[in-house]
Amino acid sequence: MTDKIFIEELNKLGINATKEQLSKLEEYFNLLIEWNSKINLTRITDKEEVYLKHFYDSLTINKIIDLNDYNTLCDIGTGAGFPGVVLKIFYPHLDIVLVDAREKKLKFLDEVINKLQLKGIRTIHIRAEEYNEKFDIVTSRAVANIEKLMDYTMHLVKKNGKLIAMKADIDSELTKEVEEKLNKKYKIEKIIKFELPIEKSKRSLISITNIEK
């Protein structure tokens, strides 16, 4: 994904990238490549692939929710910061917590936060199921199957808040039986399926609302 196509595809998502945002993404990419030579952050290192499969992919959350309407977000199993850091760059009003059990990756993210001078974003070294805080939005990208992900995350979602699961092809794990089970306790609001530009790999977004009393 070239810079031009990246900007064009963001426009289709309703995102008009500023020069400052694009500059921060460039610095983020450079830090990712630098640190990836020391610790395993990602197998994807080609710039055009990073912009497609990490940066653009992170922002596809905009297809299912308008983050301008929310204040707090937790990214579970954030890894190298996808989608949390990318979302912070484009939605600076969000108070974001990046959660991961792998301390080395969080050290990288602390460096990114410092170098990009991002405010209102922090890392926490903890397993998701041991963390205890409440957020408007909890998101997770390719961490676990949907049932396990619910177990890991829903205690972090405020009442009437949402879990946004960012997945590949969801059909094999979100069976009718699983969907019925989840809807007994929560509410699956929306499922959006689409393909990434250029390579056409499958993606799914699932919005689940915490309706517990």
Tokens representing 153 are 């995350």
Whether pLDDT at 213 is above 70 = no
CATH for 3-209? Answer: 3.40.50.150
For 76, the 3-state DSSP assignment is strand
**Going by C-beta distance under 8 Å and a sequence separation of 6 or more, which residues neighbour residue 80?**
32, 41, 42, 54, 105, 108, 109
Residue 150, classified by CB atoms within 10 Å of its CB into exposed (0-12), middle (13-18) or buried (19+), is buried
Tokens representing 185 are 């306790």
User: What is the percent of the chain where pLDDT is above 90?
Assistant: 83
Q: Sorting pLDDT into bands at 50, 70 and 90, what band is 150?
A: confident
> What's the pTM?
0.94
Give per-residue pLDDT as tens, 9-47.
Answer: 999 999 999 999 999 999 999 999 999 999 999 999 999
**Are residues 164 and 142 in contact, defined by beta-carbon separation less than 8 angstroms?**
no
Give per-residue pLDDT as tens, 53-81.
Answer: 999 999 999 999 999 999 999 999 999 99
Amino acid at the residue 160: N
